[in-house]
Structure 1
Amino acid sequence: MNSPQPLSLQRVLLCGALIVTLSMGIRHGFGLWLQPITQAQDWSRQTFSFALAVQNLSWGVMGVFAGMMADRIGASKVLMMGALVYALGMAGMALSTTPLMFALTTGVLIGAAHACTTYAVIYGVIGRQIPAEKRSWAMGVAAAAGSFGQFLMVPVEGHLIAQLGWQNALLVLAAATLIIAPLALGLREPRHTTSHAHRDQSIAQAVAEAFRYPSFRLLMAGYFVCGFQVVFIGVHMPSYLRDKGLGPEVASYALALIGLFNVFGTYAAGSLGQRMARRKILAAIYFGRAIAIAIFLAVPISPVSVYVFSAVIGFLWLSTVPPTNAIVAGIFGVSHLSMLSGFVFFSHQIGSFLGVWLGGFLYDRTGSYDVVWWLSIALGVFAAIVNLPVREGAIARPVRPAPQAA
C-alpha cells in the first residue's frame, strides 16, 4: 500500500487563504454594526463592546483547544465544525433581543468559531505540510489572505447593511460562513502527519516546556499588545470618526484601506522573515504602530489624514502574525504548533478583550477615546522592547535514542 503523500503547496495555500479570507473578512467589519445595533436596541456602546470583548476572549480560550484538536484529529474536521458554529453565532447576533443573548451568540459562539477557522488551525497545516525554508513566506501568504478579506468584505458588509438592513445583512453573512466547510476538505491531511507516533512529547510536556522558556513568554507579552491595538482600532475607529463629524463612508473606506495595505504588510513580513531576524521585524512593527498613532492624534483630523493613517497602520496591522508563528515553529517544532500558537494567541485575545472593552467603558465614562489611544502608544513601545531579546533558534532538548529496527 502506498504511503500517503503530503498536500501540495498550492492546495494548502489556496484553501487556507480562502478560509481565512472569509473568516477574518467578516470579522473585520463588526465595527460597522456598533451604531446600527445599539441604536435599534437602545443599548450603550459598552454593551456592544462587552460582547465583542467576550468574543475575543472566547476566541483565545477556545483557540488552545481548537489547536489541540487540529494537531490530534486533523484541521479539516475542526474547520468544518467551526463553520457551523460561525453560522449559528452570526444568526444569533442578528436575532438577539437582550444583552445576555447578544453576549452569548456574538461573544461566545462567534469567538469559538474564529478559534476553529483562522490562523492557529491553518498555520498548523502549513507547519506540517510546508518545508521549513518556505514556512515563514507561506504564513505571510495566509495572513495576507486574511487582510485581503478585510479589504474585500468590509465594503461588502457596509453595502449589505445599507441595502438590506443590519439584521438581514447578518443573516446573509451567516449563510456565507458555511462555505468554509467544503473548503476544509481541501486541507484533509495524510493520516501520518497528525499521528501521535510522530510526537516526541505529550501535550502536558509541550506546554510545560514552552511556558518555562523565556522567549515564549516574551512573544506572548508582545502579542497581548497586538490584540489590544488592532481590536480597539478595528471596532471603535468607525464610531470615533463619526464623533469627529466624518461621514460613515470614511469609516468604511478606512477599514478597507487597512485591509488592502495589510495584504502588502503581512506578505512583506513573511518574506522578510526568511532573510532576517524575526524579532527585529516584530520590534519595528510595534514601534512603527506607536509612531503612527501618535502622529494621527497630533494632526488635524480629515478624510485625508484618516486614509493616510489607515494605509500606514494597515501595513503594520497583522504583519506580526507570520514572524510570531514562525518563531514558535522554529523554537519548538511543528508537532504541537497549532496548540502552542493557540496559547500565544490567547495572550493576543486577552489584549483584544481589554482593548475593545476599555474603548467602550472609557467612552461611556469620559465621552472620549483619548485615554485608550495614548495607552495604545505606550503599549506599542513596550512590545517593541520585549521582542528584541527573543531567541529564535531551536530549543535544546535531551537527545533520545532512536528505536531499534525490528
Structure 2
Amino acid sequence: MTHLHAPRATRAGGEATGVPTYGWLIVAALSATTTVGYGVLYYAYAVFLTPMATALHTGTTVIAGALTCSILASAAAAVPVGRWLDRHGARALMTGGSIAATLLLLAWSRVHTILALYLVWTGIGVATACVLYEAAFAVVIAWFRERRGTALLAVTVVAGFASSIFLPLTGHLVGRYGWRSAILVLAAIHAAITIPGHLLVRRAPRPVADERQAPPGTAGKTPSAAGADRSRDDGERRRVVSAAVRDPGYWALAVAFVASNAAVAAVGVHLVAYLTELGHTPQFAANTAGLLGILSVTGRLATTATIRRASPATATAAMFVVQAGAAACLPLVGRGNLGAVLATLGVGLGFGVSTIARPAILADRYGTTAYATLSGILAVPLTVAKALAPLGAAAIRDATGDYLWVVEGIAGLCVVAAAALLTVRRVDGSSEA
C-alpha cells in the first residue's frame, strides 16, 4: 500500500516560491487578524449574555443559543470555503468576510428581537468560516514548507491571547458605555485591523516543479494555457481529496480531533461551575479557569518543540494523554486550591495543541494541493462537536446531579483522541512495510 502524501516542491530555501519575507509579513498580518477575529466574533459574546438577556427580556440560555447557531453555520460553510481557498486563494474571501462581519456587528448593535439576533449571528458564523484559523492556516500552509511549524506557531501563539485581551476589554466597554455602544467600538476595532490585514494576503506563487512540468509553449500564460493550468490543478485537487477520504488514517485523524474538540469545549464552558461545585469561591474558580488561555499558548510551544524530535501525531498524542490524566485526577485533588490549579494546568496544556497539530499533520500527510478542502471537510464535525459538547455535558450534569461523570467523560475523550492518533501511526507503518 502506497503512502498518500501528495507531491510537494519548493525552492532550496524551503518556503514556497516567491519572496519568503512577504510570507512572514502575511504571518504577522494573520496573527493580528485572527486575534481580533476570535476576540470580537467569539470570546466577547460571553460578556454580552446578561445585558442582552435583560434588554431583550429573555434568559441567558436563549441568548447563548445564538452563538451555537453561529458555530453551526460556520460548520456548514467550512467545505465550500475550503474549496474556494484551494481554487481561488484567500485574499478576496478573507477581505469580504471581514467586511461582512463588520457590517453584521453593526447590525447586532441594533437588534431588538430574538429572531434578529439569531439571524445576525448565523451570518457572523458564515463570516467566521472565511476569516479565522481554517482560512489563515490554508494561507500559511501554502507559503511555507520547512518553517511551516514556526509560522503556524506564530499565528496561534498571538491569537491564543484573544480571550485575555478581549474579555476584560469588552467588560470595560460594556460597563462604561453600555452593550450597544460597546459593540460599535468592537466593530470599529475589527474593521480597522482585519480589513487592511486581509488585503495584504496574496496567493503563494506556483512552485518551481509546476513550472518545469508545464507543457511546452505555455510560459506566456495565454488564456487557453491558463485554463489548462486551472483544469490540471482542479484535477490534482480532486485526486488528492479522493485518495485522502479513502485513507483510514484521515478518518482516524477526524476521530482524534473531534474527541479533542469536544473535550476542550466542555471544559471551557463548565470548568468554572465544576470548581465552584467542588467548594471553591466563584472568584477563585474564574481566576483558575483563566489559566486555560495562557496554558493553551504553553501547550502550543511545547508541542512545536516536541515535534522537532518526534512525529506530530506522536507528540500530540502525548499531550492528550497528559490532558486525560489531569482531567481524571481533578475530582480526586480538585477540592484543594493547589490540586485544582495543578489539574487545571494539566488540562490547559492540551487546549491549544490540536489547533497547531492538525494543520501540520494534514499538510505533512497529504501535501498542500488540496489542504483547504481536506481541512474544511474535517472542520465540519469538529465545529459541530464544539457547538454540541457543552450542551451534552450540561445534560449529563443535570441527569446525574454532579459533574463527576462529565469530567471523567472528558478524560475518556482525551484518551480516545490519543489512541486515534497512535492508530494513524500504525496505519502509516503498515503502509510502508
Q: What range is the shorter-chain TM-score in?
A: 0.7 to 0.9
**Aligned partner letter, 2:390:** V
Give 2:31's match in structure 1, choosing from 17, 20, 42: 17
CA shift in 2, pair 1:152/1:363, >3 Å: same
Per-residue CA deviation, residues 250-300 of structure 1 (Å, 9 max, x unaligned), is 52x445422222222113223332331111122222222222223333334
Matches within 5 A, 1:202-351: 203-238=237-272, 246-247=281-282, 251=286, 253-254=287-288, 256-301=290-335, 307-351=341-385
Give 2:62's match in structure 1, choosing from 43, 47, 59: 47
Q: Say whether the 8 Å CA contact 1:137–1:267 is kept in structure 2.
A: no
Per-residue CA deviation, residues 285-324 of structure 1 (Å, 9 max, x unaligned), is 2222222223333334577665544443332111112222
Q: Say whether the 8 Å CA contact 1:66–1:116 is kept in structure 2.
A: yes
Aligned to 1:172: 185
Aligned to 2:138: 124
Give 1:163's match in structure 2, choosing from 173, 176, 184: 176
Query: How far apart, CA to CA, are the structure 2 residues paired with 1:363 and 1:39?
Result: 26
Per-residue CA deviation, residues 121-145 of structure 1 (Å, 9 max, x unaligned), is 11111111112x2212322222212
Shift of residue 22, structure 1, vs aligned partner? 1.4
1:184 paired to 2:198: yes
Partner SS, residue 180 of structure 1: helix
Q: Say whether the 8 Å CA contact 1:29–1:154 is kept in structure 2.
A: yes
Query: How far apart, CA to CA, are the structure 2 residues paired with 1:278 and 1:294?
Result: 24
Give 1:152's match in structure 2, choosing from 142, 165, 174: 165
Aligned to 2:14: none
Larger mean Cα displacement after TM superposition, 108-117 or 299-308: 299-308
Per-residue CA deviation, residues 317-365 of structure 1 (Å, 9 max, x unaligned), is 1111222211111121101112211222222112112113334555677
Query: How far apart, CA to CA, are the structure 2 residues paired with 1:247 and 1:163?
Result: 23
Larger mean Cα displacement after TM superposition, 61-70 or 186-195: 186-195
Shift of residue 84, structure 1, vs aligned partner? 2.0
Query: How far apart, CA to CA, are the structure 2 residues paired with 1:37 and 1:25?
Result: 18
Give 1:112's match in structure 2, choosing from 98, 114, 126: 126
State the number of aligned residues: 390
Q: Say whether the 8 Å CA contact 1:46–1:357 is kept in structure 2.
A: no
Identity of aligned residues (%): 24
Partner SS, residue 351 of structure 2: coil
Larger gyration radius, structure 1 or structure 2: 2
Q: TM-score, normalising length from structure 1? A: 0.83
Per-residue CA deviation, residues 368-387 of structure 1 (Å, 9 max, x unaligned), is 55554333222122111111
Larger mean Cα displacement after TM superposition, 187-196 or 346-355: 187-196
Shift of residue 214, structure 1, vs aligned partner? 0.7
Query: How far apart, CA to CA, are the structure 1 residues paired with 2:280 and 2:182?
Result: 26
Aligned to 1:57: 72
Aligned to 2:418: 384
Task: Quote the RMSD (CA, aligned, Å).
Answer: 3.2
Query: How far apart, CA to CA, are the structure 1 residues paired with 2:47 and 2:270?
Result: 9
CA shift in 2, pair 1:313/1:32, >3 Å: farther
Where do 5+ consecutive residues of structure 1 fail to align?
Answer: 397-406
